[in-house]
Amino acid sequence: MIRLITDSQRYEAKVGEGLRSHYLFSFADYYDPENMEFGPLRVFNDDYISPRSGFPSHPHSELEIITIVLAGELTHKDNIGNETKVTPGLVQRMTSGTGITHSETNETDEEVHLLQLWFLPNKRGLAPSYEVMDVDFIKAKNELVPLVTGQKVLEDVVYINSNSTVYYGSVTQGEEITFRTFKLRRTLIYVLTGSVLVNNVEADGHDQIRLDEQEVIGIRGTADATFILVDVPAVEANY
């Protein structure tokens, strides 16, 4: 099954001054019982944070939180001693585990654009932990760059406690990338810029395609495009 969800079908959050956000799944004041999660992927938000604004200190537990900054500089601070400036090319993972408190703010004079993905972990009761890695994905061209994985088949990638992998993809007009997976897994593609043809389904900027029971996924650029591809199990084991 292949399902296209267009830009206009995304939920536009009304958060207040300093933050613009779109939610791909039910989150905060947006609730749709038919759009709660995608395998262990529970949250996928596309956020813009204005200068001198952001998310003040708040708690999390039992989540794997991935932050991908596409533009600007995000300051992360937490109660286990981490303070990091996250910029494009860096990928951040926070295991909230039994409990962590953190803040995410824009302390600069330029807007920050980021993606944040929350996964349900494959193990509960983990100690809180944090990792940030320079993956240098921004320069990708006609390839899929793995950003985070818990499948233990990739090296030099941020580790996540989920049997999932997140890729950054880039494809130029007329070129094609082939992604191979298994029928027992699910794939989500979120187009950042440009447009692509995914198994003969056209998707433009901010559209998403959700695929089930597809072993081979062809992604052709109908214009120069960038996108996020998330490969997940249908059900996360051990949760």
Any domain includes 1:
no
CB 158 within 8 A of CB 133: yes
Residues 15, 124 within the same domain:
yes
Q: Is 22 known to sit in a ligand binding site? A: no
The rounded distance, in Å, linking the Cα atoms of 22 and 35 is 14
Residues 155, 189 within the same domain:
yes
Any domain includes 3:
no
Any domain includes 65:
yes
Any domain includes 5:
no
The rounded distance, in Å, linking the Cα atoms of 238 and 163 is 10
Any domain includes 151:
yes
Any domain includes 186:
yes
Any domain includes 2:
no
CA dihedral for 22, 27, 28, 33, sign (positive or negative): positive
Please list the residues that pair with 215 across neighbouring strands: none
**Last residue in a domain, options 112, 137, 162:** 137
The rounded distance, in Å, linking the Cα atoms of 187 and 86 is 27
Element (H, E) at 87: none
Residues 24, 132 within the same domain:
yes
Residues 117, 206 within the same domain:
no
> Which residue ranges in the chain fall short of pLDDT 70?
153, 237-239
HEC assignment per residue over 177-235:
EEEECCCCEEEEEEEEECEEEECCEEEECCCEEEEECCCEEEEEECCCEEEEEEEEECC
Q: What's the token pair of residue 218?
A: 């062809």
Residues 229, 170 within the same domain:
yes
Residues 130, 147 within the same domain:
no
Which of 177, 18, 189 lies closest to 112, judged by CA?
Answer: 18
Residues 113, 149 within the same domain:
no
Q: Is 60 known to sit in a ligand binding site? A: yes
The rounded distance, in Å, linking the Cα atoms of 199 and 131 is 35
Residues 117, 33 within the same domain:
yes
Q: Is 113 known to sit in a ligand binding site? A: no
For strand 64-71 and strand 129-134, is the pairing parallel, antiparallel, or unpaired?
unpaired
Residues 159, 226 within the same domain:
yes
Q: What's the token pair of residue 67?
A: 């932050």
Residues 50, 164 within the same domain:
no
Q: Is 58 known to sit in a ligand binding site? A: yes
The rounded distance, in Å, linking the Cα atoms of 21 and 112 is 12
The rounded distance, in Å, linking the Cα atoms of 119 and 40 is 5
- Identity of residue 25: F
pLDDT number for residue 111: 97
Number of domains in the chain: 2
Any domain includes 34:
yes
CB 67 within 8 A of CB 115: yes
Domain harbouring 191, CATH code: 2.60.120.10
Residues 98, 206 within the same domain:
no
Helix/strand/coil for 137: helix
pLDDT tens for residues 60-81?
Answer: 999 999 999 999 999 999 999 9
pLDDT number for residue 238: 61
pLDDT number for residue 237: 65
pLDDT number for residue 115: 98
**Last residue in a domain, options 91, 109, 137:** 137
**Last residue in a domain, options 90, 105, 137:** 137
> At a CB cut-off of 8 Å and minimum separation 6, what does 146 contact?
154, 157, 165, 166, 167
Residues 39, 124 within the same domain:
yes
Which residues span the domain enclosing 229? 139-233
> At a CB cut-off of 8 Å and minimum separation 6, what does 179 contact?
144, 167, 187, 216, 217, 218, 219, 229, 231
